[in-house]
Chains A and B, each alone.
Chain A
Amino acid sequence: MSGLDTARIATSPDERRTRRPRIGSDAWTVIGLFAVTIVMILASRLISPSFGSWDQARAILVLTSFVMVIAFGQQSVILLGGLDLSVGSMMTLGGILTFSWIGGSGSALIWGIPAVLLVTGLVGAVNGLGVTFFRVPPFIMTLAMGIIIYSVALGITGGTPSGQAVPALGWLFSHRLFGIPWVILLMALFAVLGTIFQQATPFGRRLYAIGTSPEAAAIAGMPVRRIVILTYAISGAAAGLAGILMVGYSGGATLTMGDSYLLPSIAAVVIGGTSIVGGRGLYAGAIAGAFLLTTLSTVISSIGIAQGWRTIIYGLVILVALVLLREELSLWFLRLRSRGGR
């Protein structure tokens, strides 16, 4: 519990007083995002009658899982006031290693998955080392690392990753329990564990303290550098896990498999109410953000309009969600609640 205590010491008395309503507004952001997502799913029935169905929800849940996993690492880094631009390449690395190391053998999963997570975690730790000991700005450090990982992967594979997709990973997506694909159950567990990790462990609470004020955290005796390095390692491993999942989903690995997940990982975190300067936010918010983004792109892709307009709508909805949900709407919810309380 010492972590909790130091976190409390690190915050000023003024902030301590405002802590309760502040977490409250974060929580309302999460609820608001989920509400918008559900409304969007229901409203999309107007576009296609098969929308709003369990099939659609299932497809969205499965597609969200990749962003959700990466966003966990990304959010932890952003909570510290950092940014991880290497997650796309890291996801690719995880996928390629899974493809070539584990191959088609189910028994190799036992050592293969930890090995892939270890490698991506170690590469992530190098990001952390650069940021802490060499004082490279996070976005330069992780951007460079992303390019290096991509290039090494290109060189080693010669452009085409060779290997096989292990059937057991595909099984996560194709097999169901009570109609729910296993990967969704796994993601639910991941969400719970991620939230516990951030909210109820000393490590998680220290993320908030360091993100609020690294100097204060250092004065309070926290091992700031170690935590930063570990957090980047977690981000690397989370992206690696997304790569493993992607191999299961698509049954293959390419050098660009992670590229399209970098920006959504940041967008999901920011939409979810996490402050880009660190110190504030909930993992549940990032999950809600990931849902909103996936639902939005699913709905938009089924509207018969040109690609340019689709991208514009996508951007506009994100912008509106950000503006509305982060301030006014959460305040409005709070006011509503306090009025109800009286």
Chain B
Amino acid sequence: MMRSWKSLRGAMIALGCALGLTAALAAPAHAQKKYKIFLSLSYSGNAWQSEAANIVKALAATPPYDKMVDLREVISGTDVQAQISAYQSMIDAGAQGIISFPVSPTGLNRIIKRGCAKGVLFFMYDATVTEPCAYNVSYITAGFGENTAQALVNELGGKGKIFLSRGVPGNSVDKRHTDGAMSIFKKYPGIKIVAEYYGMWSDQTTQSETAKALAAHPDVDGIWAQAGEDGAIKALLATGQKKLIPVTGENSNGFRLALANPDYQARGLKGVSSGSPPATAGYAFKLMMEKLTGKRDLKVHNIQYPLPWVPASAVKLCTSDKFENGCNTFPEGKVPDSFVTEVFQPTLLPELSLVTAQEGKPTPGATIQPLPAEVVAAPDTPGINCSHCNPPANLYPLTKVQPTVQP
């Protein structure tokens, strides 16, 4: 609780979107030579969102960007209308760049187009928009659903009862993940989905929903989960059964620690940790800055961020706050279980450390390093990153894992 005045200011900003907007927009214009950039968060309230935002804030404060960037943060909630008016206010306030987590893939298109016409750069991280003038930087198209589904099928030997622990109903990301997973599960008649529920990408909701499903199906053989998987593990442990089952999920620290726990492994826990990395926001920000400063001519608008892939055998504890020796998990007690571990990316984001993700402060001594020249283009995916486009013949190719069992 011994946080500085900054957190108090944070509280003030959070008091309401309108209030926050006014505060952000009315800040003194002393920094005229600086690039005026807005960070538009849909919503803060879970570990992922605040880590992603912190990484952007930390990079904007890392030399030489600290003298070049005037970054202002606006949290507008999960409502599309609120984000539209937030974008509008930013454009009116003379934004040069807007880096944002968009709440809808299509609902923001019109205002983005208007902003692009005024020369504003739009960079979306993690979630995407279908407006072609915006840049999408995301892992979504990298195949989380199909790869984790295949990994689960492999662990189960091609047959068994499973749960699908999904995200938020009606959300395009949840749909993309589930469609990818179903493209695999459908091939295996031995795989039976006995319960499908929405964990809302929250550990608590996933835990209680998994507990309910376990009450009905204690004989389940595996769980395919989106974010919130740590809750699925906790629900399994709470049944008091000795036997554990394979679980695939996203990148919470608690899940990775569980995967690497020798006791749990002996009881049958297997699986892989993959999914949404908060570090994407940092990559999007650096791309935007390179574009803004004229260092990069970015032709590709849909840029794919590499999909994290950490099976139990690859879990490696970080002994310090920095990235070293390929570490990807923090020791118990260092961060909460719900902390999303994918905050390091040594090639793209060597400037990051734990403090950047947790507090939004720059790593001491770090300076911004140029990005590799190449970017990976994401495949066209209708409704995700384009509206009138043809998807590739195989939208769900396996990239991380190969089938070890035939259907």
| Shortest Cβ distance from residue A243 to the other chain B in the assembled complex, whole angstroms | 11
Stretch from B318-326, B330-338, B398-406 at the A interface:
B330-338
Asked whether A161 lies within 8 Å of B8 as measured between CB atoms, the reply is: no
B192: nearest residue on chain A (CB-CB)? A304
Asked whether B12 lies within 8 Å of A155 as measured between CB atoms, the reply is: yes
Q: Does B290 contact A (CB under 8 A)?
A: no
Q: Does A202 contact B (CB under 8 A)?
A: no
Q: Does A201 contact B (CB under 8 A)?
A: no
Q: Which residues of B contact A48 (CB under 8 A)?
A: 216-217
Q: Which residues of A contact B392 (CB under 8 A)?
A: none
Contact of B11 among A51, A156, A162, A163 (CB under 8 A): A156
Asked whether A254 lies within 8 Å of B46 as measured between CB atoms, the reply is: yes
**A302-B213, A307-B169 known; A50+B219 contact, CB < 8 A:** yes
Q: Does B211 contact A (CB under 8 A)?
A: yes
Tell me, in angstroms, the Cα distance from A155 to B49 when the chains sit together: 14
Asked whether A47 lies within 8 Å of B1 as measured between CB atoms, the reply is: no
Q: Does A182 contact B (CB under 8 A)?
A: no
Interface size on A, as a range, is: 35 or more
Contact of B209 among A101, A174, A301 (CB under 8 A): A301
Q: Does A28 contact B (CB under 8 A)?
A: no
Q: Does A223 contact B (CB under 8 A)?
A: no
Asked whether A151 lies within 8 Å of B11 as measured between CB atoms, the reply is: yes
Asked whether B337 lies within 8 Å of A158 as measured between CB atoms, the reply is: no
Q: Which residues of B contact A254 (CB under 8 A)?
A: 45-47, 202-204, 338
Tell me, in angstroms, the Cα distance from A161 to B339 when the chains sit together: 10
Stretch from A1-9, A75-83, A230-238, A255-263 at the B interface:
A255-263
Stretch from B86-94, B119-127, B150-158, B231-239 at the A interface:
B231-239
Interface string of A327-340 (1 = CB under 8 A from B): 00000000000000
| Shortest Cβ distance from residue B216 to the other chain A in the assembled complex, whole angstroms | 3
Contact of A159 among B53, B198, B214, B217 (CB under 8 A): B53
Interface string of A130-172 (1 = CB under 8 A from B): 0000000000000000011001101111111111100000000
Asked whether B193 lies within 8 Å of A55 as measured between CB atoms, the reply is: no
Asked whether B14 lies within 8 Å of A250 as measured between CB atoms, the reply is: no
Interface size on B, as a range, is: 35 or more
Q: Does A246 contact B (CB under 8 A)?
A: yes
Q: Does B7 contact A (CB under 8 A)?
A: yes
Asked whether B337 lies within 8 Å of A251 as measured between CB atoms, the reply is: yes
Stretch from A57-65, A212-220, A279-287 at the B interface:
A57-65
Contact of B13 among A99, A155, A257 (CB under 8 A): A155
Tell me the residues in window 260-305 of chain A with beta carbons closer than 8 Å to chain B beta carbons: 260, 297-299, 301-302, 304
Asked whether A59 lies within 8 Å of B214 as measured between CB atoms, the reply is: yes
Asked whether B53 lies within 8 Å of A250 as measured between CB atoms, the reply is: no
A306: nearest residue on chain B (CB-CB)? B196
Interface string of B135-179 (1 = CB under 8 A from A): 000000000000000000000000000000000010000000000
Q: Which residues of B contact A161 (CB under 8 A)?
A: 336
Q: Which residues of B contact A53 (CB under 8 A)?
A: 218
**A158-B10, A164-B333 known; A151+B215 contact, CB < 8 A:** no
Q: Does B300 contact A (CB under 8 A)?
A: no
Which of A48, A104, A155, A174: most chain B CB closer than 10 A?
A155
Contact of B231 among A44, A56, A250, A255 (CB under 8 A): A250
Tell me the residues in window 83-97 of chain A with beta carbons closer than 8 Å to chain B beta carbons: none
Q: Does B376 contact A (CB under 8 A)?
A: no
Q: Does B50 contact A (CB under 8 A)?
A: yes
| Shortest Cβ distance from residue A67 to the other chain B in the assembled complex, whole angstroms | 11
Tell me, in angstroms, the Cα distance from A162 to B211 when the chains sit together: 25
Asked whether A160 lies within 8 Å of B169 as measured between CB atoms, the reply is: no
**A56-B216, A155-B8, A160-B50 known; A252+B14 contact, CB < 8 A:** no
A163: nearest residue on chain B (CB-CB)? B336
A residues contacting B by CB (< 8 A) are 44, 47-48, 50-51, 53, 55-56, 59-60, 62-63, 99-101, 104, 147-148, 151-152, 154-164, 173-174, 176, 246, 249-257, 260, 297-299, 301-302, 304, 307-308
* Given A53-B218, A156-B7, A174-B237: 20 more A-B contacts, CB < 8 Å: A48-B217, A59-B211, A147-B16, A154-B11, A155-B10, A158-B54, A159-B44, A159-B53, A160-B358, A174-B238, A251-B254, A252-B336, A254-B203, A299-B216, A301-B212, A302-B212, A302-B216, A302-B217, A304-B194, A304-B195
Across chains A and B, which 4 residue pairs bring their CB atoms closest together, nearest first? A155-B11, A159-B50, A302-B216, A255-B45
A-B contact pairs, 29 of them (CB 8 A): A56-B215, A59-B214, A63-B211, A63-B212, A154-B10, A154-B11, A154-B75, A156-B7, A157-B7, A158-B360, A160-B358, A174-B238, A176-B240, A249-B207, A251-B234, A251-B337, A253-B336, A254-B47, A255-B44, A256-B45, A256-B202, A298-B212, A301-B195, A301-B197, A301-B209, A301-B216, A302-B213, A302-B215, A307-B198
